[in-house]
Amino acid sequence: MKQSPVSILFVTTRFDDAAVSNILCDLFPALQRAGFAPAVWALEPAPREGVSHRRAAAAGVPVHELPPGPKWNLARGVRALRRFVRQHRPALIHSHLGRADIVAALARPAEIPLVSTLHNVIDNFSRATRLGFLLTDSRVTVRTGVSRACITSMYDNWRLKSAHRVIYNPIDPARLEVARSREQVLSGLSIPPDRRVVLAAGRVIPMKGHRYLIQAMPEILRAAPDGAVVIAGEGPEREALLALARDLGVESALRMPGFTPGLPDLIAAADVVAMPSLWEGLGLVPIEAMLLRRPVVASALPPIMEYIDHEVEGLLVPPADPSALATAILRTLQQPAENAARISAAHARVTHQFNLEHITAQYVDLYRELLAR
Mean pLDDT (whole number) for 55-60: 97
User: What is the tens place of the pLDDT at every residue in 151-196?
Assistant: 999 999 888 999 999 999 999 998 899 999 999 999 999 999 999 9
Q: 3-state class of 285 per DSSP?
A: helix
User: What is the tens place of the pLDDT at every residue in 250-271?
Assistant: 999 999 999 888 899 999 999 9
* Domain co-membership, 190 together with 238: yes
- Asked if residue 216 is part of any domain, the answer here is yes
C-alpha distances out from residue 165 to 136, 267, 362, 363, 366, Å: 18, 31, 10, 11, 10
Q: 3-state class of 220 per DSSP?
A: helix
**pLDDT given at position 201:** 97
* Domain co-membership, 361 together with 293: no
C-alpha distances out from residue 173 to 15, 119, 210, 291, Å: 21, 21, 27, 7
The span from the CA of 254 to the CA of 47, in Å, is 29
* Domain co-membership, 200 together with 164: no
**pLDDT given at position 69:** 86
Higher pLDDT, 68 or 369: 369
Helices 210-223, 322-334: inter-axial angle, 10-degree rounding: 50
**pLDDT given at position 125:** 85
Length of the chain: 373
User: What is the tens place of the pLDDT at every residue in 196-247?
Assistant: 999 999 999 999 999 999 999 999 999 999 999 999 999 999 999 999 999 9
The full DSSP string for 79-96 is HHHHHHHHHH--SEEEEE
Please state whether beta strands 6-14 and 92-96 pair in parallel, antiparallel, or not at all (unpaired): parallel
* Long-range CB pairs of 71-76, under 8 A, 24+ apart, other chains included: 71/44, 72/99, 72/128, 74/99, 74/102, 74/103, 74/106, 74/132
| Entry pTM | 0.93
* Domain co-membership, 284 together with 349: yes
* Domain co-membership, 131 together with 250: no
- Asked if residue 1 is part of any domain, the answer here is no
* Domain co-membership, 162 together with 188: no
Residue 73 pLDDT exceeds 90:
no
* Domain co-membership, 316 together with 190: yes
As for how many domains the chain has, the answer is 2
For residue 1, what pLDDT band results from cuts at 50, 70 and 90? low
* Domain co-membership, 215 together with 146: no
Residue 149: give the domain boundaries.
Answer: 6-170+355-371
Amino acid identity at 59: A
- Asked if residue 287 is part of any domain, the answer here is yes
* Domain co-membership, 230 together with 122: no
